[in-house]
Amino acid sequence: MRIGDRIKQEREKQGLSQPGLAALCGWSGAGRISNYERNTREPTAEDLKKIANALNVKPESITFGVDSNPKNMQEVYRTIPKDRVPLIVWEQLTDWANHEGDPVDINPIPSFIQNPRPEIDSGGLFALKVRDDSMISTQESFNIGSVIIFQVLSQFGSPYSGCFVVGCHHGTDDPIFRQFIMQGKRSFLKPLNAQYPTEELADFNILGVLIHSQKDFMQP
């Protein structure tokens, strides 16, 4: 079931018309509700909050079909259509990349983008927007604001030398995006921008491996 299907289901459950729900959201016409319910447009996070407030339900119940924070991310990923990828904020990375373990916080509710790699099950994919210039060079660049899509490490498998990864240093929740380089028995995290330092992998926890950006870096 998609987001639009849940909006329609809850609206009809409460006996509201599309114009009636639109009015409760403060919109003059029902066109936006109609587009959302037909799944021709993805609701923005702001619109999802308005619709949820109008229906007196939690935003996550419309987005994911759950009423409270789930046990783990597997439960959340199962509710996401296979042709969609959640576009999360960097502060959510450790939750979205963790398929098992303690209950997780899925707020703020992410927006969704089209899965550009339909041969890969989207259950375990997440997208971020590049937030700094550490991966910009004259040869190859990930520009600030561009979308980068990752597969969680537990599904991707072992990263290969030259791939791009995202993760955190042990004991921190501040993720970084780097190129993974292997030299003999040692592994390094290399920025493309020479103004940033190359670090040894020793105290770093890889959470996801890049599978798509404006170029395709997935192994053939």
DSSP string, 50-80: HHHHHHTS-HHHHHTS-SS--SSHHHHHTTS
Q: What share of the chain is helix, strand, coil (3-state, %, to 5)?
A: 25, 25, 50
**Helix locations, 44-194, DSSP H:** 45-55, 59-63, 73-77, 93-96, 153-156
Exposure pattern of 91-128 as b/e (b: 16+ CB <10 Å)?
ebbbbbbbbeeeebebeebbbbbebbeeebebbbbbbb
Q: Would the pLDDT of 66 be above 90?
A: no
What confidence tens digit (pLDDT) does each residue in 16-56 have? 999 999 999 999 999 999 999 999 988 888 898 899 999 98
Mean pLDDT of the region 185-213: 92
Question: CATH no. for residue 51?
Answer: 1.10.260.40
The rounded distance, in Å, linking the Cα atoms of 78 and 207 is 19
Q: Would the pLDDT of 216 be above 50?
A: no
Show contacts of 11-18: CB within 8 Å, 24+ apart.
11/37, 11/55, 14/55, 16/55
Question: CATH no. for residue 126?
Answer: 2.10.109.10
Of 3-7, 102-106, 193-197, least confident by mean pLDDT is 102-106
Of 65-69, 70-74, 154-158, 190-194, least confident by mean pLDDT is 65-69
Rounded alpha-carbon distances, angstroms, from residue 4 to 38, 52, 65, 154, 161 = 6, 12, 11, 30, 41
Share of the chain above pLDDT 90, in %: 47
| 9 touches 35 (CB < 8 A) | no
DSSP state of 91: G
The rounded distance, in Å, linking the Cα atoms of 148 and 216 is 10
Domain boundary among 37, 63, 89: 63
The rounded distance, in Å, linking the Cα atoms of 131 and 208 is 16
Mean pLDDT of the region 198-206: 89
Categorize the per-residue pLDDT at 104 as very low, low, confident or very high, splitting at 50, 70 and 90.
Answer: low
> Does one domain contain both 51 and 14?
yes
Q: Which residues lie across from 189 on neighbouring strands?
A: 180, 199
74 inside domain: no
Categorize the per-residue pLDDT at 176 as very low, low, confident or very high, splitting at 50, 70 and 90.
Answer: very high
Position 23 scores a pLDDT of 95
For the chain, what is the mean pLDDT?
85
> Does one domain contain both 56 and 111?
no
> Does one domain contain both 48 and 87?
no
> Does one domain contain both 91 and 184?
yes
Structural domain that includes position 23: 3-63
Query: How many domains are contained in the chain?
Result: 2
> Does one domain contain both 29 and 134?
no
Share of the chain above pLDDT 70, in %: 89
> Does one domain contain both 97 and 139?
yes
